[in-house]
Amino acid sequence: MKEKILILAFILISLAISISNIYGATIDSNKLLTNSVTINSIDNMTQYDTTKQTIDNNADIITKKIDSNILIGIISIIVAILISIIPWIKKKFFIRPELTIELIPYGGLNSNEGLSWKNDLSEGYIEGEKAIHVWGLKWKFKIIIRNNSDVTAFYPKIYHIKSGIWFTWIDSLNNLKPIKNTDDNIELNCEYQKYTESIPSKRPKIGKYPIEFQDLKMLLEYKNSAKIKFYTLFDFGNYMNNNKFYKSKPKGFE
């Protein structure tokens, strides 16, 4: 509100200065014309031609001065208008929300899913230590989406690379819920599951992250109040939460 009042005051002052310049030019022109006629009227009528020429010259000077002051007034008005609308245009179309993504692990499961079909049953039995088992590996994560700006983000969407690594299951993101600031974080639960086979002595250990997640990428799309689209690219290379901001949609995401 204070900013709007200052801008309005600046416009009114500029208009006042412009009007003053134009009015001043008019008064000066009247004075100059009156003085010219008074001085020249004292001379002899035989000097009519000289007087007429002098008046014409003075009129040209007056016209140029009026034109100059009018031009200055118009320029002042244009500058005032531009100064008042530039912050609005910048805020409306160029100032963006900045959403970030953080991937947090919160548990997992390593389960024995039974014997593999790869076991040799030709002898009618399988030695326990040599039996091939199927292991189910499941990781659980939370995706936290934060708005690290004062600009509200609207209509958020998540995209992933079609042929890339992705979660086995993930919560849906409410596209109609705006994300206002860091106090309005969005949390999505997700899981990644895969199966592997080995003998018991080589049973895989479930780590903090699956090795495939070094190639995990996701794209977050959102809009500002003018419905201009912005993007955050999340890259989990080296198991780090890397966020990059874009104004256009990177290729390969759907």
Q: What pLDDT score does 17 carry?
A: 58
Mean pLDDT of the chain: 80
Q: What pLDDT score does 182 carry?
A: 67
What does the domain layout of the chain look like in residue ranges? 2-94, 99-246
Spell 134-165 as b/e; 16+ CB within 10 A means b: bbebbbbbebebbbebebbbbebebbbbeeee
Burial status of residue 101 (CB atoms within 10 A of its CB: 0-12, 13-18, 19 or more): buried
The enclosing H or E element of 61 equals helix 48-89
Separation in Å, CA 191 to CA 42, 134, 142, 161, 198: 104, 19, 9, 17, 23
CB 134 within 8 A of CB 116: yes
The stretch 7-18 carries a mean pLDDT of: 54
Q: Higher-confidence residue: 135 or 81?
A: 135
**Comparing C-alpha atoms, which of 94, 119, 179, 171 is closest to residue 140?**
171
Backbone angles phi, psi at 118, to 5 degrees: -80, -10
For residue 45, pLDDT over 60 is answered with no
The stretch 18-38 carries a mean pLDDT of: 47
What is the dihedral angle through the alpha carbons of 180, 183, 184, 187, rounded to the nearest 10 degrees?
140
Q: What is the pTM of this model?
A: 0.66
Q: How confident is the model at residue 127 (pLDDT cuts 50, 70, 90)?
A: confident
Question: Directed axis angle between helix 2-42 and helix 48-89, to 10°?
Answer: 180
Question: Could you report the per-residue pLDDT of 106-123, keeping only the tens digit for each?
Answer: 999 999 999 999 998 888
> Rounded distance, CA 57 to CA 224, Å?
60
